[in-house]
Structure 1
């Protein structure tokens, strides 16, 4: 695969064709990463400088060379290793600005933060896709990328920055994966299992470490006058209660009591979603066995994963997908479900 290199203003600098390995790690809720190994030639060192942008030919994704970089020369190896992040990494350099309270859709929240932060050169913001998921939160000088990821995870939306090398611009956009599971009947179904010979080296993870079923949200007021909203429920051994202090949601920011109670309820739903049972399967998948990667399924899609030996049939979203290019071949390693139990801390 040919790798095209650009400067940070998206002007083409050259190409690399002699690399020995590329791991192109795509992520649905977060900023993707890459790791590139190539011979330490004069041209490669000149092109692969920190801050430059790389793009595997044929892809509409790109990444910035950033972070730990190495060159090594010995009797056994003469290699350059470059690491970096997909274009959303630029949001990691920005803060949300002075305190604000947001109450609206997740997509609007993302665009609101981007439009109020310090400008990123070449960046434009695309209209939303119409997702109606609501969110309420307050932030003061928080990291923009961190909050984009938090919001994306809550409403199950993916986000990306798409480069336009001809137009010399980058566009932030949201997207939603497609349900391709066996429980739906409108789209072609995608199944990963041993019987389909497309599920290798599987690893299953289950965690109820932070799981909660009932959230009592405490709002404004003190003592007997304090306002409470309850989300969820449960009985017996299945009941897991948690108290959530939400005094940071200012009652005066809402025109009616009903709007304020709804904001508390949304905060409780957010917390409950963050503390659900986490179950995932990570496996090595042949990119062109039974289902074609990029055609039949892609990052963000929900698919059915069957592992008969473990008595598991799960419908899970592909939240991460690592493309590995080595020795002239390519395979993919998807993560079905959340990679790790994740608590979204809205205070950070």
Structure 2
């Protein structure tokens, strides 16, 4: 495997001849990340500088260097360590400028956000050079969504969680473009529906010798299945929407405070009050967003036998739904591959896969609390509205 280096203008500037290790972590709902260890040579020091891009042959994603560490070990050997995010991390550099109201598919919503804040923003200083939209796949999952002045990458992650769609920026080397794509993994599970039973089934199991190590987590920590969303108004006049209908001990409640979620929209300089039905749809969208981030946790972290009957990127890939079976643990789980970590070392390649909803980190929980307390802006400047049949970004 060769590693090539490009500058931020997507021009090739060199190649890394050798390295000690590369950890390449791909993620479905948000940007992946990487960590590269290599000898500290004059060439590597020149190529591997911040903001340069590393690309490994045969991939569609690439990584942007954000961090460098130069160190010397006990034997006097000098080592260079670089880390960064995949190109999708560029989206973390933008916010939703103004208020964006979206009543369309999740795919169109994500494409609209990227287009309005990275590709064709009203302020050309906000353009991310060489970024374009990829092919429209016409996925049908719909959202009613309003957001203001929030981080673009966070909003895209929210929409991915709600819709179960992945997103990423692919590196088009031939045309020197950053291509934003929304995509969906294949259903390769044994329980794929009769109408969709077209994909070869993929089953991971210790009994099939295609898993070397595994760890299963089944947890209700952080789980909620009923959201009470509070909108505008005070006391008995406050607008309240309930999402979910569980009862008794099966009912796990959470409150999402959207008091400042405006029910007015600015269209061509004219402030207009939304219909009650449409405002309620926006509140429902906030509730669904909360519940998408508070699912029950079922994960299989597994080290895959790459020499088994299943071949990476042929029989399974990031985003695919597969079946995991452990007869000894009495677990059968149809789950999406949400993370794949490729580890390249002198001993060869190893692959670690996360199936299912991963355990929330402290940062994830803080974000959820902030989102529950945040809301749409009362200021209606720079409002972007997309209806269900409007736009084809």
Task: Name the counterpart of 1:150.
Answer: 158
- Give the Cα separation in 1 of the matches to 2:292 and 2:42: 51
SS of aligned partner of 1:29: coil
* 1:194 and 2:202 matched: no
Q: 2:321 aligns with which of 299, 302, 309?
A: 302
Q: Which moved more, 1:55-64 or 1:317-326?
A: 55-64
Q: Does the aligned pair in 2 maintain the 1:137–1:249 contact within 8 Å? A: no
Q: Which moved more, 1:167-176 or 1:134-143?
A: 134-143
- List runs of 5+ in structure 2 lacking aligned partners: 118-125, 266-272, 376-393
TM-score, scaled to structure 1:
0.92
* Shift in CA distance, 293/243, structure 1 to aligned 2, threshold 3 Å: same
Report Cα offsets for 1:274-305 as digits up to 9, x if no partner: 22211111010022311100101000111111
Task: Name the counterpart of 2:334.
Answer: 315
* 1:233 and 2:241 matched: no
Q: CA deviation at 1:328?
A: 5.0
Task: Name the counterpart of 1:259.
Answer: 278
SS of aligned partner of 1:200: strand
- Aligned residues, how many? 348
* 1:335 and 2:354 matched: yes
Q: CA deviation at 1:316?
A: 1.0
Q: 1:222 aligns with which of 221, 234, 242?
A: 234
- Give the Cα separation in 2 of the matches to 1:247 and 1:108: 27
Task: Name the counterpart of 2:172.
Answer: 164
Kindly indicate whether structure 1 or structure 2 has the higher relative contact order, using CA contacts under 8 Å at least 6 residues apart.
Answer: 2
- Give the Cα separation in 2 of the matches to 1:282 and 1:47: 34
SS of aligned partner of 2:334: strand
Q: CA deviation at 1:68?
A: 4.1
Q: CA deviation at 1:154?
A: 1.8
* 1:24 and 2:24 matched: yes
Q: CA deviation at 1:337?
A: 1.0
- Give the Cα separation in 2 of the matches to 1:268 and 1:64: 34
Q: CA deviation at 1:73?
A: 5.3
Tell me how large the CA RMSD over aligned residues is.
2.1
Q: Would you identify which runs of 4 or more consecutive aligned residues in structure 1 move more than 6 Å? A: none
Q: CA deviation at 1:127?
A: 4.1
Q: CA deviation at 1:325?
A: 1.0
SS of aligned partner of 2:45: helix
Q: CA deviation at 1:255?
A: 4.5
Task: Name the counterpart of 1:128.
Answer: 136
- List runs of 5+ in structure 1 lacking aligned partners: none
- Give the Cα separation in 2 of the matches to 1:310 and 1:174: 36
TM-score, scaled to structure 2:
0.82
